[in-house]
Amino acid sequence: MELFTLDFIKFRLTDVFDISIVSYILYKLLTLMKGTRSAQIVTGLTLVFTMAIVAFWFELEGLMFLFTNLATVSIIILVIIFQPELRGMLAQMGHSRVFRMLTKYEGTKTIDEVSRASIRLAELKYGGLLVIERSVGLKNFIETGKALNAQLSAEIITTLFTPYTPLHDGAVIVSGDYISAAACTLPLTKNPRYRKLYGMRHKAAIGVSEESDAIVIVVSEETGEVSIAYQGLLNRNIDRNELRDTIAGYFKK
């Protein structure tokens, strides 16, 4: 179905759909790259693209040969350069509202036990890093730690993070009503805004939240402050009396 036709333009409804999809993909990529080193890479690529236009415009044989050969592998190069951003975009698309409606998990017990454990850790000033798995699987991170498959409880979580115990260092990953693993290694965020403000535990929380839809709870061993990382953002200093409701709110997102 054609909306309108000119001598040199034919615009159809399918073109609207096509442009919308491309615009959405570009928007998500730019959003993910905002505030990261990839933004500088985009600036560099823009400069290279401008040089290519100039080379072909003025028929500079050497540069034309170089850019022609680079074009054949440009897709692979871009995938390698922007691998973290592409992975994050695909993960966010996978846990969009439409997909979450199909795989919704209420997690009442998870919310209760994790919130109780976090409050107890804060009272004791035990450092804690709790990752609640959702629709995006965390198997690759689970495999870095010690598999437990234990029934979820606040008491077990508190014991795991007790200082100087064998599994206290690292993250605990919760899958449904079970503790999948402890002492897990997580990726650190590369976002410059968090580079100097936080320690390794908080950077790891933000890092895994950038690559998945996990809800990540961090307890500071210095201050007892409880924070939550979600989709690359850190919500700091959450009131303990409101912690359960705050976690429940993230489950609805």
**pLDDT level of residue 152 (50, 70, 90 thresholds):** very high
Is the pLDDT at 4 greater than 50? The verdict is no
Residue 41 CB neighbour total at 10 angstroms: 15
Q: What is the pLDDT of residue 199?
A: 84
Is 117 in the same domain as 221?
Answer: yes
Is 122 in the same domain as 222?
Answer: yes
**pLDDT level of residue 89 (50, 70, 90 thresholds):** low
From CA 118, how far away is CA 129, in angstroms rounded?
9
Is 127 in the same domain as 203?
Answer: yes
Judge contact between 233 and 88, C-beta under 8 A: no
Is 152 in the same domain as 239?
Answer: yes
Is the pLDDT at 250 greater than 70? The verdict is yes
> Which of 94, 122, 153 marks a domain boundary?
94
Question: Could you tell me whether strands 10-12 and 2-5 are parallel, antiparallel, or unpaired per DSSP bridges?
Answer: antiparallel
Please state the domain count of the chain: 2
Residue 213 CA, chain-centre distance (Å), reads 6
DSSP 8-state class, residue 17? H
Is 69 in the same domain as 168?
Answer: no
> Which of 94, 129, 160 marks a domain boundary?
94
Q: What is the pLDDT of residue 39?
A: 60
**pLDDT level of residue 29 (50, 70, 90 thresholds):** low
In one-letter notation, the amino acid at residue 135 is S
Is 86 in the same domain as 109?
Answer: no
Q: What is the 3-state secondary structure (H, E, C) of 99-151?
A: HHHHCCCCCHHHHHHHHHHHHHHHHHCCCEEEEEECCCCCHHHHCCCEEEEEE
Q: What is the pLDDT of residue 92?
A: 58
> Which of 35, 61, 94 marks a domain boundary?
94
Domain that holds residue 129: 102-251
Is 174 in the same domain as 157?
Answer: yes
Is 187 in the same domain as 63?
Answer: no
**pLDDT level of residue 102 (50, 70, 90 thresholds):** very low
Is 43 in the same domain as 115?
Answer: no
Is 80 in the same domain as 121?
Answer: no
What CATH number did the domain enclosing 180 receive? 3.40.1700.10
pLDDT tens for each residue of 38-79: 666 667 777 877 887 887 788 777 777 777 777 666 677 666
From CA 188, how far away is CA 9, in angstroms rounded?
49
Q: What are the helix (H) ranges across 151-252?
A: 154-160, 200-211, 243-251
Is the pLDDT at 23 greater than 70? The verdict is yes
Q: Of all residues in the chain, what percent carry a pLDDT higher than 70?
A: 75
Is 90 in the same domain as 182?
Answer: no
Is 155 in the same domain as 84?
Answer: no
Is the pLDDT at 110 greater than 70? The verdict is yes
Averaged pLDDT of the chain: 81
